[in-house]
Amino acid sequence: MNALMIKGLLFAAILIGATIYVVNSMNIDLSDPINMITIIGAIAIAVLTVGVSIKYINQMKTDTAGGELADENWDGIGEYTNEMPSGWAYSWLGTVIWAFWYMISGYPVNAFSQIGQYNEEVKAYNAKFETVHKNADAATLTQMGESIFLVQCAPCHGTTGDGLSGKAHDFTGRMSKVQVLDVIAKGSNQLGYPMGAMPPMMAQGADAEAIATYIAGGMKGEQPAAFAACASCHGEDGKGMAGMAPDLTAFDETLVGNVIKNGKKGALGTMPAFHDRMTPVQIKALAAYIATLKG
Ligand code: HEC
Ligand code: HEC
């Protein structure tokens, strides 16, 4: 064994000893496989570093230049056409793969975030809320709906649901004449019903007036003949044929849910969308409460 080898082994022993010393003094839990793998990795790196260093130091002592020279030559300084060292190439490839893994499922993207934790907790809370109130009775729903309404909806619709003098939808009636005429003239395409959009200009002039008066009046009394144009989608009784188109007689859960999700732009103004800020039970509660506001 030559002197270099002995020095190398000594150096490796010092590195391993230092690793063991640090592990002991830091009280690291070795039953945790990640800790164990890390320590084995540290020892392997020490051994490999010393081994490879010895190999190359020995090689430098005895090696002579060899191999094929490239054609280029700068003032007598040439270049060998050696293959790329495979160890270097594999390390480079490995580093690239590791970098992608690290970015995507390692630390940065997959890291803990307060927003993420908040969202998780809201989701868990909502799920609990949904199961607790799944079979809530009408009185509970109405009460729940009232409190949500006072916070989220009253600023525009008024605490009594009267629509603040025509600034927003008045819940004491179904729809005003102005609103129905607006929909007849412009159509409707934002609520997200399975039937899709309603085309504009379904009726005009006196026909439109008669239909709007009839719908705004709660669809009572004699039905105007022109309503036939509407009945094909909204149904003879205006109830929307099993949720395919809006029920024109009541604020059912589908309408309230769709308006909350998509917002509504109409004759009175724009209602912002609440996207998915409400759970199904809350939407049901709002619909139950709004139904009680009917004058
Ligand atoms: C081709 C089928 C179809 C016909 C015919 C039709 N509608 Fe509609 N209507 C719809 C659909 C679908 C919607 C919901 C569209 C959306 O997503 O906004 C709608 C929406 C409405 C709305 C808005 C409801 C709300 O609460 O905002 C009113 C009011 C309305 N229709 C009235 C009428 C009247 C009045 C007629 C007859 C003149 C008529 N519709 C004819 C399919 C139809
Ligand atoms: C920023 C004001 C604003 C807020 C907040 C608001 N709305 Fe509205 N909402 C409106 C306006 C304006 C309209 C009338 C849109 C139109 O012209 O058709 C409306 C219409 C409606 C309609 C009637 C849709 C129809 O076509 O019949 C429903 C249902 C409704 N809102 C429910 C709610 C509920 C439930 C809340 C609370 C979660 C709420 N809104 C919060 C402004 C608001």
**Per-residue pLDDT, 112:** 83
**Per-residue pLDDT, 166:** 74
Distance 118 CA to ligand 1 centre (A): 40
Whether 208 lines ligand 1, by a CB cut-off of 6 Å, is: no
Band of residue 150 on the pLDDT scale cut at 50, 70, 90? very high
Whether 166 lines ligand 2, by a CB cut-off of 6 Å, is: no
Alpha-carbon span 3 to 15, nearest angstrom? 19
**Per-residue pLDDT, 225:** 87
Band of residue 121 on the pLDDT scale cut at 50, 70, 90? very high
Residue 206 pLDDT greater than 90, yes or no: no
**Per-residue pLDDT, 102:** 85
**Cβ partners under 8 Å of residue 140, min gap 6:** 133
Band of residue 50 on the pLDDT scale cut at 50, 70, 90? very high
The angle subtended at Cα 105 by Cα 104 and Cα 110, nearest 5°, is 90
The angle subtended at Cα 226 by Cα 217 and Cα 221, nearest 5°, is 35
**Per-residue pLDDT, 18:** 92
Residue 65 pLDDT greater than 80, yes or no: no
| Mean pLDDT score across all residues of the chain | 88
Distance 246 CA to ligand 1 centre (A): 7
Residue 148 pLDDT greater than 90, yes or no: yes
Mean pLDDT of 243-267: 88
Q: Using CA positions, which residue lies closest to atom 8 of ligand 1?
A: 198
Chain CA centroid to CA 82, Å: 52
Residue 94 pLDDT greater than 90, yes or no: yes
Residue 236 pLDDT greater than 80, yes or no: yes
Q: Sort 156 into a burial class: Cβ within 10 Å, 0-12 / 13-18 / 19+.
A: middle
* Higher-scoring residue by pLDDT: 83, 45: 45
161-190 tens-digit pLDDT: 877 777 788 877 778 888 899 999 889 988
Alpha-carbon span 11 to 44, nearest angstrom? 14
Residue of 183, 219, 254, 265 with the most ligand 1 atoms within 8 Å of its CB, for mutation: 183
Share of residues in the chain with pLDDT > 70 (%): 99
Ligand 2 atom, smallest distance to 183 CA: 18
Residue 204 pLDDT greater than 70, yes or no: yes
Mean pLDDT of 85-91: 93
**Per-residue pLDDT, 1:** 62
CB 286 within 8 A of CB 274: no
